[in-house]
């Protein structure tokens, strides 16, 4: 199994969710993060001081079977028009912890 971590702009979230769900990658979590310091943000004045504001983004964590990695990555790239960063990591095991019992978690795809 693989874990895809993708950083996307907020306006692409709905499109990515739809594209990934069509690929049956059902295990996806979304977190709000801030963009990189090197990226151009914007400057605001806060209490008389200039403050650099980083743009909000989303971090997606998508668990997929090895055979579905390319399809899931392709879905993310197409939905964001290539405006994203993605990392693919190996996952050892995926389990569902429910009522204290460990059950194999089905990852679609």
- Quote the pTM value: 0.77
Residue 104 in contact with residue 22, Cβ under 8 Å? no
Q: Which two tokens stand for residue 108?
A: 């679609």
Tens of pLDDT along the chain (109 residues)?
Answer: 889 999 999 899 999 988 888 876 668 899 999 877 677 777 889 899 998 888 889 999 998 888 888 988 999 999 998 888 999 999 877 776 766 666 555 554 4
Cα 108 from Cα 72, distance rounded (Å)? 11
Check residue 64 and give its pLDDT: 86
Query: What CATH number labels 2-104?
Result: 3.30.70.120
Check residue 105 and give its pLDDT: 58
Provide the angle, in degrees to the nearest 10, between the axes of the packed helices 13-22 and 69-80: 150
Closest CA to 18 of 74, 98, 79: 79
Three-class DSSP labels, 12-39: HHHHHHHHHHHCCCCEEEEEEEECCCCC
């Amino acid at each position: 199994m693989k874990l895809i971590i993708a950083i996307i702009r907020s306006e692409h979230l709905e499109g990515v969710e739809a594209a990934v769900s069509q690929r049956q990658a059902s295990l996806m979590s979304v977190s709000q993060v801030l963009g990189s310091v090197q990226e151009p943000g914007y400057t605001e004045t806060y209490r008389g001081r200039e403050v650099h504001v980083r743009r909000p983004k989303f971090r997606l964590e998508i668990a997929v079977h090895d055979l579905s990695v390319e399809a899931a990555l392709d879905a993310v790239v197409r939905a964001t028009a290539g405006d994203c960063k993605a990392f693919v990591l190996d996952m050892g095991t995926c389990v569902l912890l429910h009522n204290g019992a460990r059950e194999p978690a089905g990852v679609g795809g």
